[in-house]
Amino acid sequence: MTPAKLRQNSKMYKLLLHTLIIWLLVSLHALHAAELKLTDQEKQFLAEHPVITLGSDSNWMPFVVTNTDGSVSGYDVEILQQVNTLTGANFQLQTGTWQNVLRQAMNFDIDGLSSSAVHDSRRQYFNFSEPYITRYQHLIVSGKNPKNLKSAENLQGIRIGYQAGDLATQKTIESLAGTVAVPFSSSPALTHALLNEQVDALIGSHSALLAANRISESGLILLDTVPGSRLDLVFSIRNDFPEALSIMNKGLAAIPDEVKQQIYNKWFYYSAILPPTRNGITLSQEQQQWLVNNPQLKVMTYPNLPPFSFISEERPTGFFIDYMRMIAGKLGIEVEFIVPENWSQAFDMLDNGELDILPQVAEHQDRKPLLNYSATNIINFKSGFAVQKTENSIHSMTSLADKVLAVTEGSTLQGIITDEYPNQKLYLASSTPDALRAVVSGEADAVFGILPVLEYHIQRSWLSNLKTVESGDEMATRSSQLKMAVKEGNATLLSILEQAQNAVTNGEQSELKSHWMNVRPGLNQLALTREEQDYLTEKRRISMCIDPDWMPFEKNENGKHIGMSADYFKLFENRLNIPIEMVPADNWLESLELGKSRQCDIFSMVMSTPEREEYLLFTDPYLTVPLVIATDISETFIDDITQITDKKIGTVKGYAYTSLLKDRYPNIQLIEVNNETEGLEKLYAGELFGFIGTLPTLGYQIQQGFIGELKITGKFDENWSLGVGVRNDEPLLHSIFNKAIAGMSTEEHQEILNKWISVRYHQEPDYKRVIYISLIFALIILVFGYHNRSIRKVNKKLEKANIDIAEQQSMVNQYVLILETNSSGIISFANEAFCRTTGYTMEELINLPHSEIIHHDASDKVIENVQRAENRHDHWAGEAYTHSKALKKIHFNTYINAIYKDGVKVGYRTILEDITDKKQIEELSVKDHLTGLYNRKKLEEITAEQVSTFERYNVSFSIALLDIDNFKTINDTYGHDTGDRVLEKLATILKQNSRSTDYVGRWGGEEFLIICPHSAGEQTLAMAENLREFVDQMNFETVGHISFSAGITEFTMGDTFASAFKRADTALYQAKTTGKNKAILS
């Protein structure tokens, strides 16, 4: 038999062996696979849709392989077979050219696509499954490697071949500086071109690798994985088939890891062309042989240390689990996770070869004889405290004197505390959740533990009344550096692991940390897709154009970006974890030209115009400001802009509102200037009647240089909405910034506004005019002598001016509420209007601490923000509560400014607007009169907003529908007044024990609805269970104990509020009819 025949038989034998192993695994798994639970809706869907057809490219090896008899096989075929077996569905493939199947799927002639990527442009047609395989592009060279290429870097002048029509690969090649992209019609043509030196290398995915494998005797070498080429592949399902998507995801999740690996090995087996390099990791012959002899790493795992390592649904999961899977993936081997009973057993298993790696150990001197440690830390973390949110005195171990500290019994931390703080009172808990519950119940004052672990349990258990504290003392800030360790003397494995660790990119490491150590729906969770995250990793930096002279919005001050937009982009930069760098320009027009020529990726603060839409995409606005007009101080208020269209009005050249105003007021005489400073100078010199700008910028400029000379005298109906402008050839960047803007909190917006915009209500006599008249009067005396008539005229003007001033001061005193305090917060002045509104006399208020008239409903957070704003920026604007002399709550719009005398701050002046009636009317329209919770109308509005956010940004949310058990019996037995008291008390419990981000309302009767943003169904179920258990333990006056049942559901793609609510209602009905006092997730 010839060598070629032997090789062919060997390959056939391997293929048959793989098939047999897969069949055996599937057969064993099928014994319990049939138990995979489908909902009634999913079962009904399958009954109505016996076949679900997905389209695929007929030449997409090895995902889809068209055989000579017309049948299809391949990786996707076998994955779908697994899904069908596990779920009872019938997903089938239909092949053709990619363009044809894509068009058919978008027209809903077929039901979706196989092996596709998530694209925002396709969301209007498809929902996307969870990723089922990750695709990388590879650099392949011939055995001769005439250019002596070493890696996928430094490819200047290299001719790289790719398969025509593969746009992703073409884009990858174009991103490699200095390369020449050469297309070929097919994978075989591409491979032959490489062998014949028509190209120097080729880039392709698994189809190229498969073609190379078929002719591996010719000596092709897989040299490297192209950086940044990762792509997670999914199944795209038409978006009116949400049941098909959920069935697909359940089937994919249920495929055993070993079956997936066998299918993968069968279709992506190309070790025949592997040199001593795996995914860019150069290995010695000794290292390569070690991996051949040990194709599966045996790794220790902890069963209960979330988020690092724990068991969920009988499978290991967590940060370290994903990290080790990443390491194994880079080495092209498998990993098995093993749970020892204790550390002693773990060391024994390591010693006798039952374990290869301890993946998360701290380096201790007494362990060095037993272990070899990796040079690189996997992660660093700190220890700290979890306390009740109202607790502010615990900030270090020394602050715990006479307090009770909860720790896990038998843990290393317990030993450290006992040794170093022997007098500390301890509550010994069975686990971290048990310790946290002790703090919630008041049995302990604090929990000491690993901060990421504490955060994880607090978030996952919805313990919304707890917070974590990072202390400054030696004990609580003690960092732990966790490394990988192997048996002492196993230098070969340790060297392999260290090389694999070095191949983990910062982006990959950050992605794992973000996923596992930031579970709260907070600032850093922007719900970025994998495609968006990979985009940022590859992007590395974002270039930004600004208006170089547009304060307080923004300015280039000696090369530094300052102003409001600078503060916004500091937040964006931190959350996106990517540098955002300013591109300098001399003026706004130059910035626009830089944007047109693609020298900047974004504009920091810009408004959409038809001209700009030719090269920019525009995000949702993050700032909306009114347009106003400034004039000389002598001009009266302009209430109709059309009255001044015959006068010269200045505006900045290139600003968006200039063209808008020309369209709206075609007869207006607009004079364009280079910037606002130039425009106000022309206005001051009399060359212009007025100048148009935004309220913040003109107010800022007038305060800086034109006080007493210019003023704002009119407002346009138009507002200027400002967002981020993104180059239109990078839509992913547009989507990313929309999510960053949506993730801004109201408090963050308000803090930036307070910092840069000072609202001043200030009425003062026109002393300049009085002095001017007085000087003229003196000049007349000196030059012309005493002229009675002139004196009388001057005196009349002065008298009239004084009368006007007195009248204005009287009106201000009667109708504008003013309060002044000294720098210590003691009231030093209160005018007539303030006293009348609050019921106090001035004598009662003078020397009274301002804090004594602040209403108890004013949160500590608001008071803290006011004090911080006053100290940092000399001003604050916002809503605040004061109580009257009769202790009635008064709601004010409040504007605070510092008072200076001789350059020294001596206190604060507050201008207030009473909006109590307005707020009461607003509350009546949105609050339930009995419970004070949101009413049904408001809940429907909130839900509509959440649905819109979900559809736009795919930000998850869930709802919980609660119903008091046996409430009719309570009313019938004790009367409706008692029933009302039960409703009131339950409402208070629900409000106080839900997250501040949740919306709690009364849906009707004894039903309550809780809307939970950024929460999956399982999280909301945990919250409902916590509330149910809490209520079950409470004693309600007169009636004793009560309970409630709850139905929970998570909003999914294709849902309307009606369909989601129906699921929750059905789950509630199920809870009611199966025993009550339970919560069910649907």
Residues marked active site are found at: 1006
Rounded Cα distance between 223 and 273, Å, is 9
Q: Per residue in 825-860, is it b (16+ CB within 10 Å) or e — as a string?
A: eebbebbbbbbebbebeeeebeeeebeebbeeebee
For 817, phi and psi rounded to 5 degrees? -80, 120
Alpha helices, DSSP H, located in 933-1074: 936-953, 967-974, 976-992, 1017-1033, 1057-1073
Q: Which of 428, 434, 424 has the alpha carbon at shortest distance from 463?
A: 434
Total length of the chain: 1082
SS (H, E, C) 992-1028: HCCCCCCEEEEEECCEEEEEEECCCHHHHHHHHHHHH
Question: Which residue, chain included where needed, has tokens 């990078």?
Answer: 730
The DSSP secondary-structure symbol of 151 reads S
Q: Phi/psi of residue 442, each to 5°? A: 90, 0
**Cα 1013–Cα 572–Cα 618 angle in degrees, nearest 5:** 85
CB 1013 within 8 A of CB 957: yes
Tell me the two tokens of residue 477: 């800030």
Picking from 789, 798, 837, the residue whose alpha carbon sits closest to that of residue 815 is: 837
Whether residue 371 contacts residue 391, with contact meaning beta carbons closer than 8 Å, is answered with no
Please give the Cα distance from 415 to 413 (Å, whole number). Answer: 5
Q: Six-digit token pair at 985?
A: 């008390």
392, burial (CB in 10 Å: exposed 0-12, middle 13-18, buried 19+): exposed
CA gyration radius, the chain: 35
Three-state secondary-structure class, residue 916 = helix
In three state form, how does the secondary structure of 252-281 look? HHHCCHHHHHHHHHHHCCCHHHCCCEECCE
Q: Apex CA 820: angle with CA 814 and CA 825, to 5°?
A: 150
**In angstroms, rounded to a whole number, what is the distance separating the alpha carbons of residues 930 and 266?**
66
Whether the link from the prior residue into 50 is cis, omega within 30° of 0, is: no
The dihedral through the CA atoms of 721, 726, 730, 734 has a sign that is: negative
Contact 255, 22 (CB under 8 A): no
The CB density around residue 173, as the number of other CB atoms within 10 Å, is 24
Q: What are phi and psi of 964, to 5 degrees?
A: -70, 130
Distance CA 550, CA 356 (A): 62
H/E stretch holding 631: strand 623-632
Both structure tokens of 879: 């809503």
Q: What is the DSSP letter of 1056?
A: -
Instruction: Write the Ramachandran bin of 903: left for phi over 0, alpha for psi from -120 to 50, otherwise beta.
Output: left
Rounded CA-CA distance 252/416 in Å is: 45
CA 6, 9, 15, 19 torsion: positive or negative? Answer: negative
Q: Which residues of 951-984 are buried (b: 16+ CB within 10 A; e: fewer)?
A: eeebbbbbbbbbbbbbbeebbeeeeeebbebbbe
Encoded amino acid at 486, one letter: V
Helix and strand numbers (H, E) in the chain are: 36, 51
DSSP 3-state of 108? coil
